[in-house]
Amino acid sequence: MIGYIIRRLLYGVLILIGVNLFTFVLFFAVNTPDDMARLAIGGQRVSADAVEKWKVERGYDKPLFLNVKQEGIQKYTETIFYQRSVPLLTFDFGASDEGRDIGREIKARMWPSLALAVPTFVLGLALSIAFSLVLVFFRTTALDFWGVVVCVVMLSISSLFYIIAGQWLFSKILRLVPYSGFAGGWDTLKFLALPIIVAVIAGLGSEARFLRSLFLEEVGKDYVRTARAKGLSERVVLFKHVLRNALLPILTGAVASLPLLFMGSLISESFFGIPGLGSYTLDALSGQDFSIVRAMVFLGSSLYIVGLIMADISYTLADPRVRFE
Amino acid sequence: MQMLRGRASPRYGVAIPVSSVLLKFAALLSLGALTACGPQGLESPINSPYIAGAENQNVLYTAFTQRSPKFLDPAKSYSTDETPYTYNIYEPLYGYHYLKRPYALTPRTAVAVSEPNFVDQAGNVLPSDASAKDIAESIYDIKLRSGIVYQPHPVFARQPDGRFSYWPLEPQSFKDKFVMGDFQQTGTRELTAFDYVYALRRLASPRVASPIFSTLAEHVVGMQAYGKRLREIDAALRKDLPPGTRDLPWLDLREAGFSGVEALDEHTLRIRVKGLYPQFKYWLAMTFIAPIPWEADRFYSQPGMAQRNLSLNYWPVGTGPYMLAESLQNRRHVLVRNPNFRGEPYPCEGEPQDRAAGLLADCGKRTPFIDKIVFNIEKESIPLQGKFMQGYYDIPQVDRGDAGVAMLVAAGDSAAKATLYAKHGIQLPTTVEAQMQYFGFNWKDPVVGMGETPEQQVRNRKLRQALSIAFNWEEYVAIFQNDQAQVAQGPIPPGILGYQAGVEGINRVVYDVKDGKPVRKSIEQARALLAEAGYPNGRDARTGEPLVLHFDSASGVGGSSPTLDWMRRQFALLGVQFDVRATDYNRFQEKMARGVAQMYMWGWVADYPDAENFLFLLYGPNIKAGKGGENASNYMNPAYDALFEKMRDLPDGVEKEQVIAQMIQILQEDAPWMFGLFPKSGGAFQQWVGNAKPTQMVRNTLQYMKIDPVLRSKKIAEWNSPVWWPVVLFGLLLCGIVWPAWRALRRQDRQTAFGDVAQEGVR
């Protein structure tokens, strides 16, 4: 297994290099360093001097991939791509284009993101499993039919609608929670209650429908019939047999997405004023801060790779038949 | 910002059915959530986003949208969103009177607004009415008030033996310091003229790259050469350092100076300006000319500071009424009252209507009135508007007037909203500001520009005039500005010397005058002009080809929007095809810099309330293409340029007004712009906010505002009582669904092939 993990990690490094290259090309295909400088400096009377200084300070005065003015290896190392990419491989994110330490920002902002994402993930998964099991229990009844209809309706609605509707209902009409904001300690609950409820409800339709189909597939299998024939209650059949056997595909999604919880939610954090990594990324995109964008894309890719490896490992724990050999 | 404290709130306890472990857990979680909201339960409403009882304090809550201010360094700051901080922390020599209109300069740290002394080439003093051509230099000797001291700040902190507490510092000694509050000791000292000298020298520093350097260097004696000298010094200091390094040795500007700016003594600043430049005084009211203590520059130059974002850009040092106490990027910024501020008296004069509006009631009282100002980020308009209506924001945005204008429009569109705003007692004053939006033609373009031959020039001018008539700005303002703008007759907005109200100001090329009011010329007249221009019915008379004009839009990719569609229709009235070349703002700027756009729309916010700051947008030597100036139309007219040069040197008065009128007439005839509109600026203020007057020119408004926390607290409690019954109803509904399901599950558990086991047992 160790060999397998090492092999996967090495593949991961190649993927990261590819992602880094792709991000770089995409970003600079639509932005020139001059654009970035003008946007970063802003205001009236942006002087050519100020643009040049901005570029020099951040190393954007160099060529993108090939520096023909240099000799030997420096042709490649004295370029924006090399100087911006190589430190990333050691997780040295450096400074943002505004000059702020990206590593420190990530450390500070991952907690609000996690505070929102972890409860959303856990509650969302638990509620989806419970709801889908109820639908399976009442399969072929009107409850199941209308439950599926509700799921389809819910998954058809944009998550933005849930946010706006949630703020309208709970903040404006009922006045039970603040519209937005964030605080530490126990007060986090007050600010996160609405975003969590909204996120759980927004994800319930698609998640429950997916899980219902998984459970229905299992319910028709021989071992379930055998379990029932043994006289086991439907509750035991569903929770002990069906749920456990359907865990494998659930694990695929759940474990792989665990590391990505760090990355936060772009829309939710922005609407609810949560100072997490999602809003950090969104700010960087709108401000054309390439340093942050590439750092967040790199971090996201790394976490995704780690998530996939974790999912593979979890297979062996959930299903002893799965072996890496 | 204090953290919210948890405290039990029995008032909001709800009965939760306890029938299973899951339900118990849910009940505990709900209870936890509610008790966590406890402080608001007792002292503040449950939906309050602040600490318990925050609304009772003398604190003003407002918001900023999108992102934190980029530059708080006064030498770099040039964006409106930065001004609530910079103009309340720093003090330039002058400011603008808070209430008077037209805007009037008043001293801030200076004793008075000084008039310059003029000297000729030989250094002889000239009379104040000397001819501009005789004046070699204008010398401003500005007396500073004594006794002004800086805010408490670590840069001034000293040990008992006189050594600086935080200089020199080893990088490892402040490893755990990321904000100014991490430095325990603070100090202060008196403001001197040397601090202004240092600030002006710093504008020339290549380390700063101030956006205003090139403009000031044209006027201040020796500044251009000083900038070059500093470049050389800086290059020498960087010689052995890798490029891009952030820890640079301090560039001590006390050592190297220039003759244009000097301190005659501790409280007298001398600035020498080339020739006559009456507008120079306005630059002295901007934060570019805010004092910089050399201690601050040295403190922030220490190795490791830049990496921790410890710089003037994030942690300003000033003498103003407020100081920055907290700065969480893209989250929250807090200004608190500067304990060392001397307390400026509230103005006693204003516009005639100010007394009736209660704006003079605090005449002579010491400012600032508010203890603390909290700026929270609100990226989306729904939470911003929602919190404002709940009373949690006193002003939606301090730096912009959009919110007030938007609310006025909403109130005009909806009676329900108008009633709601009235019920909440929201104040929505508006004013026309010193800013404009215009539609420009590129003078370098062969079709809509100047034209190469005299005949072509006449044809092109007639084309521009025809388009100016056809483009109905009154309709544009009604549709797209919701009537919250004034249609412009020329480039000078109201409230600025040179603006002509009434019949005299009407653009006779575009309007006829009927009953003393402007009436847009008919479309037939525009068509006639178009035919004279060589495009009858929108087709080239020589080739028969349709006339296609290209509009460079910065509104993003697509080229289709209600505004652009409306513009197409205006051009179509003349049979002219309107082609949109849509792009993003960066590409748009690039096109403008290269002078390749044909038609465009842009705006300008005045730096200072002088006609020169608008008329220079069409001054020939100030063209954008190739020269990087602000004349985006690249308009060149020697007659206009000569008048501009004359006007620039004139003091305010009748003669200057006459010259401006001539210049406007030239512009109306040449029509390098369709003059567009002057947007209104508005304010939205809660009923408990006092002394609020909308303005985009006076930027230190927070100093004059006040709030009534008692009224605020009462109104917030009134507007925010929570509604619980839907939650209880939802709980009951949930029980109504869960309970039958649970029963069905139990029944199925008990069922055998022979029926229900439990019931069998009973039988």
Tokens of B418: 């108008």
* Chain Cα centroid distance, residue B100: 20
CA distance B501 to B102: 14
Q: Do B3 and A178 touch (CB under 8 A)?
A: no
Cα–Cα distance, B729 to B723 (Å, whole number): 11
pLDDT in tens, B492-536: 998 888 998 889 899 999 999 998 899 999 999 999 999 999 999
Number of H helices, E strands in chain B: 23, 26
- Smallest CA–CA distance from B744 into chain A, residue: A138
B663 to chain A, minimum CA–CA distance in Å? 24
B-chain residue closest to A279, CA distance: B330
Does A303 have pLDDT greater than 60? Answer: yes
Q: Which residues pair with B430 in a beta bridge?
A: B682
Mean residue pLDDT of chain B comes to 88
Interface test with A, best of B1, B2, B3, B4 (most A CBs within 10 A): B4
Is pLDDT above 80 for B154?
yes
What's the pLDDT at B87?
A: 96
Q: Which two tokens stand for residue B223?
A: 């500044």
Tell me which residue of B614, B61, B761, B143 sits closest to B392, measured CA to CA. B61
Q: How large is the average pLDDT for residues A294-300?
A: 90
- How far apart (Å, rounded) are the C-alpha atoms in residues B631 and B629? 6
Residue B379 has pLDDT above 70, yes or no: yes
Instruction: Give pLDDT tens digits for B297-335.
Output: 999 999 888 878 899 999 999 999 999 999 998 889 999
Residue type for position B111: V
DSSP state of B337: E
Query: So what's the pLDDT on residue B17?
Result: 37
pLDDT of residue A93 exceeding 90: no
**Distances in whole angstroms, Cα of residue A106 to Cα of each of A112, A114, A143, B394:** 11, 12, 45, 32
Per-residue pLDDT band at B13 (split at 50, 70, 90): very low
Nearest to B659 by CA among B606, B651, B103, B518: B651
Backbone φ/ψ region at B417: left (φ over 0), alpha (ψ -120 to 50), beta: alpha
Per-residue pLDDT band at B14 (split at 50, 70, 90): very low
pLDDT: is B220 or B432 the higher one? Answer: B220
pLDDT at B256: 85
A176 secondary structure, DSSP code: -
d(CA B240, CA B85): 37
Residue A302 clears pLDDT 80, i.e. is over it: yes
**In contact, B90 and B320? CB cutoff 8 Å:** yes
Query: Does the pLDDT value for residue B212 go beyond 90?
Result: no
H or E element that contains B64 = strand B59-64
Q: Which strand (E) or helix (H) includes residue B755?
A: strand B755-756
Q: Where are the alpha helices (DSSP H) in chain A?
A: 2-30, 33-41, 48-58, 74-77, 80-89, 102-137, 142-156, 159-166, 188-219, 222-229, 234-236, 243-245, 247-257, 266-272, 277-286, 290-318
B59-100 residue pLDDT tens: 999 999 878 888 899 998 888 889 999 999 999 999 999 999
SS3 of residue B673 by DSSP: strand
Residue B446 CA, distance from chain mean position:
37
Q: What amino acid is encoded at B473 in this protein?
A: W
Is the pLDDT assigned to residue B16 strictly greater than 60? no
Inter-chain residue contact B67 with A287, CB threshold 8 Å:
yes
Dump the DSSP string for B463-509.
Answer: HHHHHHHHS-HHHHHHHHSTT-EEE-SSSPPTTSTT---SGGGS-TT
Distance CA B215, CA B273 (A): 12
- A interface mutation test: which of B2, B37, B86 has the most A CBs within 10 A? B37
B113: tokens are: 């607004």
Q: Which residue has the higher pLDDT, B54 or B43?
A: B54
State the complex-level ipTM.
0.81
pLDDT at A76 over 90: no
Is the distance from CB of B345 to CB of B691 less than 8 angstroms? no
Of A317-321, B2-6, B204-208, B269-273, least confident by mean pLDDT is B2-6
Distance (Å) from the alpha carbon of A313 to chain B's nearest alpha carbon: 30
Q: Which residue of A has its CA nearest to B248?
A: A57
Beta carbons within 10 angstroms of residue A227's beta carbon: 19
How much is the pLDDT for B557? 52
pLDDT in tens, B679-694: 888 889 999 999 999 8
Residue in B3, B79, B744 closest to A184 by CB: B3
Residue B636's closest CA among B677, B667, B660? B667
Q: Do B309 and A187 touch (CB under 8 A)?
A: no
Contact B244 A59 (CB under 8 A): yes
Q: Which of A35, A67, A176, A200 to mutate to test the interface with B (most CBs of B within 10 A)?
A: A176
As a residue count, chain B comes to 763
Contact list in B for residue A173 (CB cut-off 8 A) is: 723
CA distances (Å), origin B210, targets A90, B625, B628: 36, 21, 15
pLDDT at residue number B416: 93
Q: B328 and A275 in contact by Cβ < 8 A?
A: yes
CA distance B93 to B517: 43
Chain B residue numbers touching A191 (CB-CB < 8 A): 49
User: Band of the pLDDT at B756, cuts 50, 70, 90?
Assistant: low
pLDDT tier for residue B705 given thresholds of 50, 70 and 90: very high
Higher pLDDT, B15 or B625: B625
Place of tokens 């002003």: B395
What is the percent of chain B where pLDDT is above 70? 92
Q: In the 8-state DSSP scheme, what is residue B708?
A: -
- How many Å apart are CA B540 and CA B535, to the nearest integer? 5
Name chain B contacts of A270, Cβ cutoff 8 Å: 379-380
With CB atoms and an 8 Å threshold, state whether B330 touches A275: yes
Mean pLDDT check: name the lowest of A100-114, B24-38, B269-283, B467-481.
B24-38
Which has more confidence, B651 or B721? Answer: B721
Q: What is the DSSP string of B205-245?
A: -TTT--TTHHHHHHHBTTHHHHHHHHHHHHHHHHTTSPTT-
Give chain A's radius of gyration (CA, Å). Answer: 25
User: How high is the pLDDT of residue B2?
Assistant: 34
Amino acid at B738: V
Cβ atoms of A58 and A294 within 8 Å: the answer is no
pLDDT level of residue B558 (50, 70, 90 thresholds): low
Q: Do A100 and B379 touch (CB under 8 A)?
A: no
**Residue pairs between chains A and B whose CB atoms are closer than 8 Å:** 185
What does the block give as tokens for B367?
Answer: 């400012």
How many Å apart are CA B675 and CA B509, to the nearest integer?
12
Q: Please say whether the beta carbons of A166 and A197 come within 8 A.
A: yes
Closest A-chain CA to B68: A283
pLDDT for residue B648: 87
The answer to whether B574 and B471 are in contact (CB under 8 A) is: no
- C-alpha B124/C-alpha B118 separation (Å) is 8
Q: What is the mean pLDDT of residues B718-746?
A: 89
pLDDT band at residue B559 under the 50/70/90 scheme: low
Of A41, A99, A186, Cβ closest to residue B6: A186
Cβ atoms B678, B436 nearer than 8 A: yes
Chain A residues in contact with B386 by the CB 8 A cut-off are 167, 171-172, 179
Q: Which amino acid is at B745?
A: L
Q: Give the residue on A whose Cα is nearest the Cα of B31.
A: A189
